[in-house]
Structure 1
Amino acid sequence: MLLKSIRYSLDELIYLLNQLSDKGYSKSCESLGNETIGEHTRHIIEMFQCLENSYDLGILNYGNRERNDQIETEIEFAKQCVVEIRTGLKSENKILYLEHVIGGLAIRIQSSYYRELLYNLENCIHHQTLIKVAVLKFQNIAVIENSGIADSTSEYRN
């Protein structure tokens, strides 16, 4: 169910990106504190990429993600990255160690691939909500009704 939910959320992101131009995608939005839709999309993509790239080694540090400007300025490239993430999701859970640097010291805590997938799903939904706020200002953009809404919120509302 987790992988299915992630794929659905990524499909929603592609659906939205298909409706935008590179100009609108990379334009600063006042409602996002002058950030761009592309910046939020890059964040979603790179968090998933970081997790997937850390799977074999088993040590995950989100602070070491790439921060590729091409993702935040070129929709076609961003969509290609989303498709690669979607098809590259692993079905086998395993122990991972989450590494984070605090005050110059690296700490590691035990996590798991599925735990981090869940984190990335929630992060994706959060950023899709922000993107939704930005695209509501555009005309002729269709947004899937529950896009950017966590499953628990939808269940609560029902």
Structure 2
Amino acid sequence: MKSVIFTEVVKQLSNLLKQLKPNDYSKSLDVLNGSSIGQHTRHIVEFYQCLLKGILGGIVDYDARERNLMLENDLNYTLSILKLIETQIENIKNLNEPLLLSVNYNSDSQHFIETNFIREMVYLVEHSIHHYALIRIGLQENFDKIDIPKNFGVAYSTVKHRQEMVVEI
């Protein structure tokens, strides 16, 4: 598997966000329970940052997100970080790089689970698409001028299933 599929998911978000006005990016939306497109984007971006940081030290900890408010409020800053993430993913030499995933569901115990870079990227693709679906709802309900790609926020398996259904008919 090539890293292209992983950067494609990041590019989908970048391309969509480029259509937004900076104020719209950080606007609180009722349909998202008061959160913004920026807040969902920050959440997505910080998961990628945790993985890319983890590859340096061998331990991925998604709970250790920075919760950087610039990512949810500054559209241009976020677009530059997304570009940096694309570049960093493209430069990963060993997609099977072994890692440990830090898991801590309560304050009493921390566990480390064996994983690798490509497995975590698969997780991040699914995680991103889930949040893209929420972003899509926010955009559709509040910003009718935004051109949302047909499959933005739709799982790859669902896209494939829909294509197969069309062929069978």
- TM-score norm. by structure 1 comes to 0.95
Distance of 1:84 and 1:19 partners within structure 2: 19
The TM-score normalised by the length of structure 2 is 0.89
Q: Deviations over 1:114-149 (max 9, x none)?
A: 100111111111111110110112121101111111
C-alpha distance after superposition, 1:5-33 (max 9, x if no partner): 22112111111111111211111111111
Q: Which residue of 2 aligns with 1:127?
A: 131
Residue 84 (1) aligns with residue 91 (2): no
Change (3 A) 1:40 1:2: farther
Pick aligned residue for 2:102 from 92, 99, 103: 99
CA deviation string 1:79-138 (max 9, x = no partner): 011000001011412111101223221111111111001111111111111101101121
What runs of 5+ residues in structure 2 fail to find an aligned partner? 164-169
| 1:109 aligned onto 2:140 | no
Residues 17-51 of structure 1 deviation map (CA, whole Å, 9 limit, x = unaligned): 11111211111111111111000000111000000
SS state of the match for residue 106, structure 1? Answer: strand
Structure 1 unaligned residues grouped into runs of 5+: none
Q: Percent identity?
A: 34
How far 1:2 moved relative to its partner? 5.1
In the alignment, is residue 60 of structure 1 matched against residue 60 of structure 2?
yes
> Where has structure 1 moved over 2 Å in runs of 4 or more?
none
Q: CA RMSD in A?
A: 1.1
Tell me the distance in 2 between the aligned counterparts of 1:100 and 1:145: 35
Paired residue secondary structure (2:67): coil
Q: 2:57 aligns to what SS in structure 1?
A: coil
Task: Tell me how far apart the structure 2 counterparts of residues 102 and 15 of structure 1 sit (CA, whole Å).
Answer: 35
